[in-house]
Structure 1
């Protein structure tokens, strides 16, 4: 059993440990969730490789003014190796294991061990879809004499006060950062290419009596959590079915929101209203983005960016006869999102017959249930192809995927403990059938609407990132492992067959308020009777 006490600070004693039953790439939500579940199953022979210097993944990178995010903590430091960049992962058919090439990026540790290979029986990729910042190619960028930074690589040493700031992009990052920038910048220009649908966040102060109620009566908190799940799942219909009544109602609600937030700016109403249905691009949540556009030091720029110059950005209208206009800037912020279609973000992966992942995915990324990939034995992905959502929490998807992967890991690790080798990978025909059905469902969704481009799909319109249904449907799908989905190889004498029922966590409401109140009252009466009987 491998225990990596202090492994995060000294790269496991200068790369002395080069063998582990399970390797997890990434210490974001996915990697942490997988590690926690392994510990719950009494599996401690694992390593987490993280290229950054801490836990959090994309929510460690996305630390910009106004960023809204929740976190959770777990003691995983003894299993992690920070500043460890995975360059390549290759399947060794003879040894029936993965060889993971790691580059040490931390100064003193790299002096002792710059690179090493970590062998493992099972490889889990927890890199996520929002990992590698997308950097648009704009002519003249190298000429700019001011500061350029991506929102996911925020430079906190830069003083924003009194600066002329330009934000390229008006998506999820922009609606958070713009209101904060507007407070300190001398002038703020937002370069909008396509408008987005925005709904209110509706933040409110939680009054003290509510806090007491939630502390004293835990079932009330559980009920609120369950009702949040219900409301988000109902929201699915409005986002996914672009021709539904719910979609039209949501669009009208958003239009009313624009007008209520900017009642005296009808000139902005049309500019801020998309020509595509809600859900085609990510719906944004903000209470203060629209009011920020009303400020005297904020300009919404919808003309096309032509190039970057030494002093700023040159724009030009859609009319060919319209002259160009330079916009003078001190700082350009790229709120341009991430490169999302790769899923392995520069890591070279080679499976059976040295077949590369690029070859496997030459027609677009696909995985069985978004988790296991053709020609890659003993390999699992978390938050992989077609597992993103537009209406609910991704953590719900990740948790279902982790529960599904654990039985696969246990079979492989158990075989190795018996002195045998076992490899499993999804059958190509199952992946093909699964993806055909999935893409058929997605073809009629809002995600596939040709009127908008988004990070949900490739340039030719193939939706590679999003799931086609509600979370509960995916959770039910992942609640059973069908061993006939897989090909088995190796010397193991104990190959699983049939189906393994693993169940799922139910987050939604099971009882209505009337039943809940009645049940609580009955429990209270029973408790009172019990106390009265013994008190006498």
Structure 2
């Protein structure tokens, strides 16, 4: 925890009992590094800069009222993670206190807030503030960042609703799942009842006795439906296509186990490694339709349907997936199918023609079905990435111009040609569908942190400038090879649509390999892949010419030894011990 000493203007790290120099950030409109977003990615990036490189002149801009990102936004009933809790935490801030194997929303939010407090991030954050535009100044080699203050305490510090911050480097940590989708549905604005998107849940609205329609049958809907079925008078589940569902294996972690892992960090690391190995093996199931693991997923889904929907052949036929496992996001739940069998629940598979004042008009019927409330479990706008920001890069080219043809392209998912000194966390083609995304985000933060530090180190004087960005041809080649790999995965299967596949078949969001493979990709910074300019560019290029590859060691969390290997070592150790004891006894007898 960082504790301020007001007398000396120092900050003490209570874990090491050492003082670290603080940089004055009261200038308000000038900073070295500006981070957009205070969710998992933004927190990770800030901690990396603060702890590893002592870069403390940073500003975090967060549009909501606090840290947490998607886990602050998504407060709908049943909101929870489908990744093991020990794996859904930072490697630098393990959390043995999770009470469930698959943690719920509030516990994850509490954890993220605790990390932000532990590392003193609140002093760098500006909440209720939103980045609305970025302008690259090619002469000064700086970003001018337009910030709009939407309310809260921050509004008291600015004259008007907007102001600008000048930054040497900008990191986007806005992610892929924060702009709700489905609000453009035809006729939605006419509806006379209550409309709620799952990511904008109104906890003050009483569901009791209401006639409700929930639109969507993905992971979010599968969590909401079982939680509200006892409250509502009637629930219609509107299904466009059935989800591929496997059982949710979850349980409460007993206090003794939490205490044991808290007191024995090596044991906690081993448990995390075991979980990582297990989820990494899951990769084949969701990427290779003809693999044995994929067959196993089909069998799990079939068994769940047969057992939980026994005696309901009508529902069994409706929920049967017509695509391969991994073609779209797998739904992990054990109580969704039983909820569909309730007497006050209907599963509607007809397409929605339009929303009316009374409710919904479905295909095949001229009369609308009346509802008091519509729940939009329709996901997010996952294809825009940075496009939702007004960005102008080199030579006056906007991001929309740079990404005008085809899908958004980013070098290794973290930087874009034509946008100097701008990094991306959780950018194009970095999403995982088989394990914890934090494994990717940490690798990206480590890589960008090393780049940022190298840039500031190369600038010897206060007036020195330096900008770098990936070469266009290198980026194009990287993305081409990536798409070729992706087209050979189940993600590209024509049998379904998903939030990571464009209409033209391009896989815009997902990474084709394992988490470890991506971590290894970012271990080496190939400076020959970048263009550079500025007063310090010549010296920097001469330096990196000698050492083209900069090593950024990844966090190795997978197990070094298998369980059988550990058992063999343990048995071997016991055998050596027994042998030593026998030799010692013989020698002792001889001496006697």
Q: Matched residue of 2:347: which SS? A: strand
Match of 1:101 among 97, 121, 146: 146
1:458 to 2:502 alignment: yes
Query: For the Cα contact (< 8 Å) 1:316–1:325, is it kept in 2?
Result: no
Judge which range, 482-491 or 110-119, deviates more. Answer: 110-119
The CA RMSD over aligned residues, in Å, is: 2.3
TM-score for both structures, normalised by structure 1? 0.91
How far 1:180 moved relative to its partner?
0.8
Match of 2:252 among 205, 215, 222: 205
How far 1:83 moved relative to its partner?
1.1
Judge which range, 220-229 or 287-296, deviates more. Answer: 220-229
C-alpha distance in 2 between matches for 1:160 and 1:477: 48
How far 1:457 moved relative to its partner?
1.7
How far 1:275 moved relative to its partner?
0.9
Query: For the Cα contact (< 8 Å) 1:182–1:292, is it kept in 2?
Result: yes
Match of 2:66 among 36, 49, 54: 54
Structure 2, unmatched stretches of 5+, are 7-23, 81-104, 581-592
How far 1:242 moved relative to its partner?
2.3
C-alpha distance in 1 between matches for 2:145 and 2:244: 42
Query: For the Cα contact (< 8 Å) 1:166–1:191, is it kept in 2?
Result: yes
Rate the CA distance shift 1:179–1:468 in 2: closer, same or farther, 3 A: same
Match of 1:368 among 407, 411, 426: 411
Cα deviation 1:135-190 (Å, max 9, x = unaligned) = 25333222221101111111111111111111011111101111111021111111
Q: Matched residue of 2:207: which SS? A: coil
Query: For the Cα contact (< 8 Å) 1:122–1:412, is it kept in 2?
Result: no
Number of residue-to-residue matches in the alignment: 512
Query: For the Cα contact (< 8 Å) 2:37–2:69, is it kept in 1?
Result: yes
Alignment of 1:416-427 (within 5 A): 416=459, 418-419=461-462, 420-427=464-471
Q: Matched residue of 2:242: which SS? A: coil
C-alpha distance in 2 between matches for 1:333 and 1:187: 13
Alignment of 1:382-461 (within 5 A): 382-416=425-459, 418-419=461-462, 420-461=464-505
Q: Which residue of 2 aligns with 1:331?
A: 373
1:135 to 2:185 alignment: no
C-alpha distance in 1 between matches for 2:261 and 2:337: 33
Query: For the Cα contact (< 8 Å) 2:188–2:355, is it kept in 1?
Result: yes
Rate the CA distance shift 1:139–1:208 in 2: closer, same or farther, 3 A: closer
Q: Which residue of 2 aligns with 1:9?
A: none
How far 1:109 moved relative to its partner?
4.2
Q: Which residue of 2 aligns with 1:488?
A: 532
C-alpha distance in 2 between matches for 1:137 and 1:212: 49
Match of 2:337 among 286, 290, 297: 290
TM-score for both structures, normalised by structure 2? 0.82
Rate the CA distance shift 1:415–1:30 in 2: closer, same or farther, 3 A: same
How far 1:523 moved relative to its partner?
10
Cα deviation 1:308-341 (Å, max 9, x = unaligned) = 2222112124xxxxx4453221110111000011
C-alpha distance in 2 between matches for 1:110 and 1:209: 47
C-alpha distance in 1 between matches for 2:329 and 2:180: 17
Rate the CA distance shift 1:110–1:523 in 2: closer, same or farther, 3 A: farther
Q: Matched residue of 2:229: which SS? A: helix
Judge which range, 255-264 or 31-40, deviates more. Answer: 255-264
Q: Matched residue of 2:212: which SS? A: strand
Match of 1:510 among 560, 565, 577: 560
Alignment of 1:268-283 (within 5 A): 268-283=315-330
1:242 to 2:289 alignment: yes
Q: Matched residue of 1:332: which SS? A: strand
Structure 1, unmatched stretches of 5+, are 6-12, 318-322, 530-536
